[in-house]
Structure 1
Amino acid sequence: MRTEAHDLRHHGDAEVRDDGAALTDLAVNVRDDTPPPWLREHIAASLTSLAAYPDGREARAAVAGRHGVDPSRVLLTAGAAEAFVLLARAVRARRPVVVHPQFTEPEAALRDAGHEVRRVLLRPEDGFRLDPAAVPEDADLVVVGNPTNPTSVLHPARLLAELARPGRTLVVDEAFMDAVPGEREALAGRTDVPGLVVLRSLTKTWGLAGLRIGYVLAAPETIADLERAQPLWPVSTPALAAAGACMTPRALAEAEAAARTIAVDRAHLLAGLGEFEEVTAVPAAEGPFVLIRVEGAAKLRAHLRDLGFAVRRGDTFPGLDADWLRLAVRDRATTGRLLQALDRALVLTGR
């Protein structure tokens, strides 16, 4: 499959800012009604410290404590996207592999850094489930998402761990893991998997996409390599304040409650989609979004936009074509309106 067939730099936010239309946003996977008031207030309180250079030690310790690791195994980043750029620049890989369909920024960052990237394409007929044997044995850098964007498939941690090899860096993008009840299948905090690098984002669950905050968990020597590739003071004081606040017991309990609500709302969405014979949804969805396949999805997406809903096109993801769409999970009332709009849009497309 040709690389140029997919726009690796296209992201969901483009679906809601193309023409300024007032749209219900199902294209971006940021949780509704976030950040919560207590988090906004905590971030606002940090503004009195803007005259001083950012000091990330407290936030780094908070992240380390949350995952039960030493702070030397933590690197704070300006969102997970920065972490992908750092990995592409700092990890000495000769045969990198990206498992698709998944978030396209890792491959884009690797290519921008001069790497020749090979792809492993998971198949819809297999439910986009991971087969470790499909990853080339000589790969010295492997990138995989869990749960994977856009398929919403949650891969078993034991299968991911099987990808570890001496001399291989295994990067697991867990940007949406805190939206999974109990964070089952998480590898964050594991120190027994050689070469493991776990990426986390705080932008999705907490509504901080505009603040840019995430972190990397890895062996101290890997963290040191990545840190050397960072500019000075890469994470702002407000972002550091947010990171510390999101590690507290109160925040973790709120995230867990939100994950359980998302699971219920996702089941409602999948049940509604199941009423349309024209629509096939990836059934094993575990993230805050679902992937659907429908013939003529490009026209359907345009009609949904006219009806007030922005959804994410799927054809920019390697392994998917123009018949795929991604839908963010929202509350039952929003889903009800979406299903009505979907019914109308299908009629407009002649289905």
Structure 2
Amino acid sequence: MSPSAEPDLRHHGDAEVRGDAAALTDLAVNVRTGTPPAWLKAELVASLDGLAAYPDGTAARRAVAARHGLPVARTLLTSGAAEAFVLLARAVRARRPVVVHPQFTEPEAALRDAGHPVERVLLDARDGFRLDPAAVPDDADLVVVGNPTNPTSVLHPADVLARLARPGRTLVVDEAFMDAVPGERESLAGRTDLPGLVVLRSLTKTWGLAGLRIGYLLAEPGTVAELERAQPLWPVSSPALAAATACSGPAALAEAAVAAERTAVDRAHLVARLSAVPGVRVVGPAEAPFVLIRLADAAAVREALRASGFAVRRGDTFPGLGPDWLRLAVRDRETTDRFTAALTEAMGKVAAERAPGCGREPDAAG
């Protein structure tokens, strides 16, 4: 893609491994490896006995509400966090919606599909993709921002995000990866004092449930009721409701906290190894279960890595990035060591092919 081309908002990390998952080490998809755990699989299997009945989300909503210390009326279960973006786009009457980029592209895609003229606030790599609330137009009545942000791995301070809330504005904070942050620091999930706040959560990343589709949102009761009216009947399946209940309990939260600490250690190892590779710039400090890197000829390097058995996420489909960016999921130390060795080799191979006199013309789009 040329720098001036419009990013493909519908491209997601699963496209990098589709059809070749068995042959590739997956650093493109941000789902925690080794999941779902055995106890969660057992909960899902047990729920199958109730498939003859229509789904009843009462218990799951109560569990999610209790998990965040909120009234049930402030919670809404969704078919993955992605459904929440569609509901917001259809139900919220916004004159000037703004999406803060780079971030997950589905919110903008959903808004555009619903006929909204979306404006972008592009954060700057030179500032580490940090958010300045003053960059958001004062009259924006719908603002969408990720925290921690996909793909930059930036964790914005909660007080900075809180400055975006105001009467007459819907502030959507996508916290799909917040449970992978130790202590869930900077989360706004429990806040009830910020007008127009909508917090989105996903259970698919930490618990390996991308195929089940389960997420939820937290908002003012009036907003929840309006979004619920936009949902079809029985939008969340019985197994997904069972997962929401199970993953909101004390034992699951304790397990997720341990996993978040382990991810932080593995991420530090990944960042250290990447930082030792000449020509690689790592965006930091990284706080999510993935990191964003910049390097020359990233598209060619990505293809060389694929040939070596590694799938990584291209960055040029995110508004505000370009062809020199890649996103990498955090994996265990052994996988990281194998990957960084393959990355070094791939970069050397691509550089050699680009060198004058190698028998081919340089890629003008590189």
Normalised by the size of structure 2, how large is the TM-score? Answer: 0.94
Equivalent in the alignment of 1:301: 302
- Residue 347, structure 1, aligned to residue 351, structure 2: no
Equivalent in the alignment of 2:207: 206
- Residue 54, structure 1, aligned to residue 55, structure 2: yes
Q: Distance in 2 between matches of 1:304 and 1:60?
A: 43
After superposition, the C-alpha distances for 1:176-221 in whole angstroms (9 at most, x for unaligned) are 0000000000000110011000000000000000000000000000
Equivalent in the alignment of 2:175: 174
| Residues 206, 256 of structure 2: 8 Å contact kept | yes
Equivalent in the alignment of 1:160: 161
**Mind listing any 5+ residue stretches in structure 2 that lack a counterpart?**
353-366
What's the Cα RMSD here? 1.3
Structure 1 runs (4+) greater than 4 angstroms displaced: 1-4, 18-21
Change beyond 3 A, Cα 1:252–1:3: farther
**Mind listing any 5+ residue stretches in structure 1 that lack a counterpart?**
none
Q: Distance in 2 between matches of 1:81 and 1:19?
A: 24
Equivalent in the alignment of 1:75: 76
The CA deviation at 1:19 is: 4.8
% identity of equivalent residues: 74
Q: Distance in 1 between matches of 2:32 and 2:99?
A: 27
Equivalent in the alignment of 1:26: 27
Q: Distance in 2 between matches of 1:336 and 1:155?
A: 29
Q: Distance in 1 between matches of 2:305 and 2:273?
A: 16
Q: Distance in 2 between matches of 1:89 and 1:3?
A: 29
Equivalent in the alignment of 1:335: 336
AA aligned to 2:195 is: P
Bigger drift between 24-33 and 12-21 goes to 12-21
AA aligned to 2:108 is: E
Equivalent residue runs for 1:1-351 within 5 Å: 5-19=6-20, 22-350=23-351
After superposition, the C-alpha distances for 1:296-318 in whole angstroms (9 at most, x for unaligned) are 00000000000000000000000
Change beyond 3 A, Cα 1:210–1:285: same
The CA deviation at 1:108 is: 0.1
Equivalences, count: 351
| Residues 68, 189 of structure 2: 8 Å contact kept | yes
The CA deviation at 1:350 is: 1.4
After superposition, the C-alpha distances for 1:113-166 in whole angstroms (9 at most, x for unaligned) are 000000000000000010000000010000000000000000000000000111
The CA deviation at 1:284 is: 1.1
AA aligned to 1:196 is: L
Q: Distance in 2 between matches of 1:248 and 1:21?
A: 33
The CA deviation at 1:38 is: 0.2
The CA deviation at 1:277 is: 2.0
Normalised by the size of structure 1, how large is the TM-score? Answer: 0.98
| Residues 3, 322 of structure 2: 8 Å contact kept | no
Name the larger-Rg structure: 2
| Residues 3, 323 of structure 2: 8 Å contact kept | no
Q: Distance in 2 between matches of 1:333 and 1:100?
A: 32
